[in-house]
Amino acid sequence: MLVIPFRHVRDLFGLTNEEWHATFALVDECRRLIESEHSPDGYNIGFNVGRYAGQSLMHCHCHVIPRYVGDVENPTGGIRAVIPHKRLY
């Protein structure tokens, strides 16, 4: 799922304090909805900030990604997997 603030800002750091809290409240709502329908084993929650961090749409948005046992061979490192030497520890 994606959580997208109504007001256009480039990334997470452009949000006001109120928008920041509202965004994370919606992330929690997404989690509850996903859990009621799909019962995941975990989540990745993420913002990409800037083109060189993988942001391809220059409008703030948050990824809420349910994860399941066995969906990848080795989940160690989570989102750190984008840095190869930090992938496994």
What pTM was estimated for this model as a whole?
Answer: 0.85
Report whether 4 contacts 60 (CB < 8 A).
yes
Asked if 61 is an active-site residue, the reply is yes
Answer whether 5's CB lies under 8 Å from 22's CB: yes
Whether the predicted pLDDT of 82 surpasses 90: no
CATH architecture under which domain 2-86 falls: 2-Layer Sandwich (3.30)
Catalytic residue among 38, 61, 63, 85: 61
Q: Is the pLDDT of residue 80 over 80?
A: no
The model's confidence at residue 81, banded by pLDDT at 50, 70 and 90, is: low
Maximum CA pair distance of the chain?
Answer: 39
Average pLDDT over residues 45-56: 92
The two tokens of residue 11 are 């990334």
